[in-house]
Structure 1
């Protein structure tokens, strides 16, 4: 839903179990299967024990973009715009991105706060040509799960407000507004 793939829960379940469902585009089916593969990857016992770093994010982006881009986990080298926003992200510098992700991941803060900062940094930076929101959320979840901090999921009913807050954040609103929303409405613990 976050990326405009409008499927019901039963349709998503059918795609995950059988790889197909009638009345859906191949692109939407591929996006859902890619998300499944990315989640399977981060939940692997060895992977969840690995660092949440640029290389992890790049591999997640590669999985999310599989079938759409030959190198979906490669840092973008062309300008992009963000629909509905005046914010134009600058071209990312690989060394700066690596350093910033490492700095955030090493912060001495609650796991949820670090995960939210990782997620929003990656979304705002628009590191890849496509799939940034999908890869960022899964990357944040890798960090959260690895640190026993639950998981972050944006429920369908919260997507419109999340997108509004994200645009405001892109355009300069303080991180505390969207971070509070994510903690109160999207953070799940067991």
Structure 2
């Protein structure tokens, strides 16, 4: 059977210029939420004030630096959206993200690091192996999967001395925007789940709960320019496509296997069971 990546996502794609406008519209929100993931003690109005270049006294110099670095990194991503995705490109993102914040910025890590809250010890990244891994990720058909798998790989590998989560979020956005698939913006209500599933991934190497969390944080617009959430859109596509396969004579078991890796395994068990229950009336006992 065809891979899950051949789900008909075309109706949820938007024009590239529209996607760039969307990224610009939510630039402040993206910067604010990405900074909060790093534990920056800033409010949304603080972020707006810093980005406007006004003097602010209740925010630390380090947090201001983080905000300004994120501004420059997001702007670089948006203005270079047609530049091919590569390790060199990701290094450039990290150069903006980690400027004046780490031992080195814009180059692969050359020493050992630890990850707080886990015993996970990532290997020192090798340039050739990293380039090969990125090449394999970019070969995935579905741009959503490319973005999620790149984020998972890069954040666990800790490619850089610092700013790995921030760099990975912006790199994932590069993949999404350049492929007209919306933006990744991890809102405040999802940060606790993000941290929990990321830690779980470090400890188990199972990135499906993390993928589920990230999918809930991908937003696009419909033809009426209303915000839509990719996770909900994918649910509808799963039901529509699965029922089409049932009508064509495919068994429920085959369909479950068909969708397993990139849809069903990204769902919690109760939700997975509910989705499959919606298909049973059409299966005629198969």
- TM bucket, shorter chain: over 0.9
The 1-side partners of 2:43 and 2:114 are apart by: 29
Cα distance per residue 1:16-67 (max 9 Å; x no partner): 11154211111100100000001111111xx101111101100000000112
- Higher alpha-carbon Rg: 2
The more displaced of 51-60 and 63-72 is 63-72
1:170 is displaced (CA, Å) by 1.0
The DSSP-based 3-state class of the residue aligned with 2:196 is helix
| Cα distance between partner residues in 1 of 2:54 and 2:37 | 20
Q: Which runs of 4+ in 1 moved over 4 A?
A: none
User: Which residue does 1:2 correspond to in 2?
Assistant: 37
**Is 2:165 aligned against 1:133?**
yes
2:136 aligned with 1:87: no
Contact 1:53 1:105 in 2 (8 A): no
- State the partner residue of 1:152: 184
User: Which whole-Å CA distance do the structure 1 matches of 2:133 and 2:45 have between them?
Assistant: 39
Give me the TM-score of the superposition, normalised by structure 1. Answer: 0.94
Deviation digits for residues 82-121 of structure 1 (CA, Å, limit 9, x no counterpart)? 111121111111111111012101212x211110111111
1:187 equivalent in structure 2: 218
Cα gap change, 1:149 to 1:140, in 2 (>3 Å): same
Query: Contact conserved, 2:183 with 2:219, CA < 8 A, in 1?
Result: yes
Q: In the superposition, relative to structure 1, how do residues 181 and 113 fare at CA in structure 2: closer, same or farther (>3 Å)?
A: same
- Give unpaired runs (5+ residues) of structure 2: 1-35, 222-286
* TM-score (ref. length: structure 2): 0.63
Whole-angstrom CA distance in 1 between matches of 2:208 and 2:59:
38
CA distance in 2, matches of 1:161, 1:77: 31
Q: Which ranges in structure 1 are unaligned for 5 or more consecutive residues?
A: none
Aligned residues: 186
Aligned residue in 2 for 1:74: 107
What is the SS of the residue equivalent to 1:18? coil
Is 1:16 matched with 2:51? yes
Q: Which is further off, 5-14 or 67-76?
A: 67-76
